């Protein structure tokens, strides 16, 4: 175990004790002359006969405090309610009502359903309204420490504890550097210096090692002081066949087209492992035949690929059944809780600047009702390479589910977070020859 101290503004020294995995297991301060011993060795400078004014984090569901203890209740890894107890007496139960960033805006008591606390935040997390009911409801009277992004606010220092580091909402900065900016292969599985995670040091946003969520806290969150779980990169790693949607209406048009595949990595803090996959990013819809005098007939296609509006797109994902008529699942992307995603304005689609129905789903050839189909796409990402087909998507979804369970069992944020790196060289209009290859010869004219 490790003991770390930090000074509060009023001169009180706060002591934090961490386990071998870096998670905080106890905090206390010297306001009451506290003594902490680790394996029989005094870890604090003042020796007294008792431990006072403390918080002990027994597990994600149970927190022991000086005068009472709390029991937390979760649904899908998200804290939804907290019960307060004192020895054999229940002090009340309150529910957390959150905004799209997971920040608690209201708490309500179970006895009357009335609001017991109301909190509003500035964009970077500092509270500007904090109203607390004092006694009208039997559930009132205790201050809710789980606030911005549902993280715990240490009232002694005014810092939020995110797991990997502490965040100061008053200055909008972390109190230590991004762990991925250092090189620690024991504690971290990705490192910016290796070009990993959101393009590493080649992404200017990652160079701001004290900055919070690329300076866009209204849209993004940072679950643990690190980054997200799934990253779809702009690094091409191979090629595969993708169905040319609408080709059956054009005489002689190929049924499939050769398209590049891109690396997609999946990781999480609980297991510390990385799995790499391949996905397609193109979305080709046949629109006509290109009749010209200097070459055989070629076929015109619109590329309806989804590209984020900004250099890096940050989303959450939810699992759903897809395609219909199968037992397969896909991950549907959400932005601020909505399936309507801000997109590159050059994208060809029903609504300029936006895209809907974007998923990570089965790719290649898949089976449905005893028949084989080749996957097409309308802006989605299809599994490719060794993870094509029914088995491949099941392996991918199983990987994600196992990681979510590991996070949930560790009491960490178990949401599925997806980062998409924008490509800078997208061709929105393709010419395709009869063999299904993209024709780039016109670029030489």
Res 405 pLDDT > 70: yes
Question: How many domains does the structure of the chain reveal?
Answer: 3
Q: How far apart are the first and last CA of the chain?
A: 68
Using pLDDT thresholds of 50, 70 and 90, give the confidence band for residue 408.
low
Q: Select from 226, 251, 269 the last residue of a domain.
A: 226
Res 188 pLDDT > 70: no
Is the domain of 166 the same as that of 180?
no
For residue range 151-181, list pLDDT tens digits in order: 889 888 889 988 778 999 999 998 888 877 7
Is the domain of 312 the same as that of 352?
yes
Written in H, E and C, the secondary structure of the chain is: CEEEEEECCCCCEEEEEECCCCCEEEEEEHHHCCCCEECCEECCCCCCCCCCCEEEEEECCEEEECCCEEEEEEECCEEEEEEEEECCEEEEEEEEEECCCCCEEEEEECCCCCEEEEEEECCCCCEEEEEECCCCCCCCCCCCCECHHHCEEECCCCEEECCCCEEECCCCEECCCCHHHCCCCCCCCCCHHHCCCCCHHHCHHHHCCCECHHHCCCCCCCCCCCCCCEEEEEEEEEEEEEECECHHHCCCCCCEEEEEEEEEEEECCCCCCEEEEEEECCCEEEEEEECCCCCCCEEEEEECCCCECCCEEEEEEEEEECCCCCCCEEEEEEECCECEEEECCCCCCCCCCEEECCEEECCCEEEECCEEEECCCCCCEEEEHHHCHHHHHHHHHHHHHHHHHHHHHCCCCCCEEEEEECCCCCCCEEEECCCCCECCHHHHC
Is the domain of 139 the same as that of 265?
no
Using pLDDT thresholds of 50, 70 and 90, give the confidence band for residue 394.
very high
Is the domain of 200 the same as that of 307?
no
Calpha distance 17→56 (Å, rounded) = 9
Whether the ω angle into residue 26 lies within 30 degrees of 0, i.e. cis, is no
Is the domain of 142 the same as that of 31?
yes
Is the domain of 324 the same as that of 351?
yes
For residue range 194-238, list pLDDT tens digits in order: 776 656 777 777 788 888 877 878 766 666 554 447 999 999 999
Is the domain of 298 the same as that of 159?
no
| Per-position b or e across 399-411, b if 16+ CB within 10 A of its CB | bbeebbebbbebb
Calpha distance 23→15 (Å, rounded) = 14
Tell me what the mean pLDDT of segment 258-265 comes to: 96
Is the domain of 216 the same as that of 153?
no
Is the domain of 139 the same as that of 181?
no
pTM exceeding 0.75: no
Is the domain of 163 the same as that of 240?
no
Res 366 pLDDT > 60: yes
Domain enclosing residue 125, as ranges: 2-170
Using pLDDT thresholds of 50, 70 and 90, give the confidence band for residue 271.
confident
pLDDT at 169: 93
Higher pLDDT, 110 or 191: 110
Res 331 pLDDT > 50: yes
Is the domain of 420 the same as that of 333?
yes
pLDDT at 343: 94
pLDDT at 79: 84
């Amino acid at each position: 175990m490790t003991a770390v101290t930090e000074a509060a503004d009023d001169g009180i020294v706060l002591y934090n004790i961490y386990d071998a995995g870096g998670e905080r297991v106890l905090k206390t301060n010297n306001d009451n002359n506290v003594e902490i011993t680790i394996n029989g060795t005094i870890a604090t400078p003042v020796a007294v006969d008792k431990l006072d004014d403390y918080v002990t984090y027994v597990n994600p569901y149970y927190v022991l405090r000086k005068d009472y203890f709390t029991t937390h209740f979760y649904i899908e890894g998200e804290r939804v309610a907290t019960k307060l107890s004192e020895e054999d007496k229940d002090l009340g139960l309150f529910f957390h009502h959150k905004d799209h960033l997971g920040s608690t805006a209201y708490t309500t008591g179970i006895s009357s359903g009335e609001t017991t606390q109301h909190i509003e935040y500035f964009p970077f997390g500092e509270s500007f309204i904090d109203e607390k009911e004092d006694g009208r409801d039997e559930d009132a009277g205790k201050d809710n420490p789980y606030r911005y992004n549902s993280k715990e606010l240490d009232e002694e220092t005014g810092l939020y504890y995110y797991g990997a580091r502490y965040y100061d909402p008053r200055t909008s900065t972390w109190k230590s550097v991004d762990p991925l900016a250092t090189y620690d292969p024991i504690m971290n599985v990705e490192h910016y210096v290796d070009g990993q995670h959101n393009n590493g040091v080649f992404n200017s946003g990652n160079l701001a090692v004290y900055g919070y969520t690329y300076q866009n806290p209204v849209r993004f969150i940072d679950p643990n002081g690190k980054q997200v779980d799934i990253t779809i990169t702009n690094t091409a790693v191979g090629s595969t066949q993708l169905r040319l949607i609408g080709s059956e209406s054009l005489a002689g048009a190929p049924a499939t087209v050769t398209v590049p595949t891109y690396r997609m990595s999946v990781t999480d803090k609980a297991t510390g492992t990385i799995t790499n996959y391949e996905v397609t990013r193109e979305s080709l819809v046949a629109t006509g035949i290109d009749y010209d005098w200097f070459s055989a007939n070629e076929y015109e296609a619109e590329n309806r690929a989804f590209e984020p509006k900004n250099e890096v797109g940050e989303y959450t994902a939810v699992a759903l059944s897809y395609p219909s008529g199968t037992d397969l699942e896909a991950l549907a992307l959400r932005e601020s809780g909505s399936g309507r995603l801000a997109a590159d304005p050059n994208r060809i689609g029903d609504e300029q600047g936006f895209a809907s129905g974007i998923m990570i789903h089965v790719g290649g050839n898949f089976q449905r009702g005893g028949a084989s189909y080749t996957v097409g796409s309308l802006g989605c990402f299809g599994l490719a390479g060794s993870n094509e087909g029914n088995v491949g998507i099941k392996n991918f979804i199983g990987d994600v589910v196992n990681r979510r369970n590991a996070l949930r069992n560790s009491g960490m944020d178990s949401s599925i977070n997806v980062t998409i790196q924008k490509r800078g060289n997208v061709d929105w209009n393709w010419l395709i020859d009869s063999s299904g290859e993209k024709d780039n010869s016109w670029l030489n004219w």
